[in-house]
Amino acid sequence: MSGTEVVVGRIGRAHGVKGEVSVEPRTDEPERRFARGAVLVTRTVSGTPPPAAPRTLTVRATRRHQSRLLVTFEEVRDRTQADAVRGLLLAVEVDPTESPADPEEYYDHQLVGLRVETVGGTHVGEVTEVLHSPAQDLLSIQGEGPDEILVPFVHRFVPVVDVPGGRVLVEDVPGLLSPAGEDEEGGA
């Protein structure tokens, strides 16, 4: 059976000189995803395999330090190699029918293709991608026009995710779904 890749973390700065790196977890199961021996697939922010870095990384050790997760990979032995993998996304393959243990969490593939409507019932478009930015995740929505709409994937703006129903509800906040002032009569 073919699986689906799910992003579980993003590699940050090197920590020390022996190849240890900080990792921003993007999973509710860091102890499982970053366990000793776990093999993680590396991807660029655009989702492609990195041209010069290892395609997979094997976890050698994981520890908490202050509020960060520090990880050592078998393939990363020094600070130079740690600097070379900085910014890469870490992914695992999951069964496409699997869902996260937390009912408030979703895998990217569960969201892509969902119909997007405002809380008031107006059709907005369709989720085309989930972008994992350093600040927060964003839903990329293709509406009727040529421009992509980016909505922060937080409860304030996306109060309802109904995967079985095939839809996402978003708040129609001025400036979120269309440029501020576009819907006002008479312009700015």
Q: What strands, in cross-sheet order, belong to the sheet with 148-152? A: 148-152, 137-142, 123-132, 115-118, 167-170, 160-162
Residue 182: the pLDDT is 54
* Whether the Cβ atoms of residue 160 and residue 148 lie closer than 8 Å to each other: no
Architecture of domain 108-170: Roll (2.30)
Q: Where are the domains of the chain?
A: 4-94, 108-170
Instruction: Give the DSSP H/E element, type plus range, for residue 33.
Output: helix 30-33
pLDDT of 1 reads 32
Rounded CA separation 137/150 (Å): 10
Burial 18-29 (b: 16+ CB within 10 A, else e): ebbbbbebbbee
Question: Which phi-psi region, left, alpha or beta, contains residue 152 (left: φ > 0; alpha: ψ -120 to 50)?
Answer: beta
Contact 27, 96 (CB under 8 A): no
Q: How many residues does the chain have?
A: 188
> According to DSSP H, which parts of 60-141 are helical?
79-85, 108-111
Burial annotation 75-111 (CB, 10 A radius, 16+ → b, else e):
ebeebebbebbeebbbbbebeeeeeeeeeeebbbebb
State which CATH number among 2.40.30.60, 3.30.70.20, 3.40.50.300, 1.10.3980.10 fits the domain covering 4-94.
2.40.30.60
User: Would you give the distance in Å from CA 108 to the centre of its chain?
Assistant: 7
Q: What is the pLDDT of residue 187?
A: 45
Task: Write down the pLDDT at residue 3.
Answer: 63
pLDDT at 181: 56
pLDDT per residue of the chain (188 residues) written in tens, 0 to 9: 356 888 889 999 999 999 999 998 888 788 889 999 999 999 988 778 888 788 999 999 999 988 789 999 999 999 999 999 999 999 998 877 777 777 778 888 889 999 999 999 999 999 999 887 767 889 999 988 888 899 999 999 999 999 999 999 999 888 888 765 555 444 44
State how far the Cα of 111 lies from the Cα of 100, in Å rounded to an integer: 13
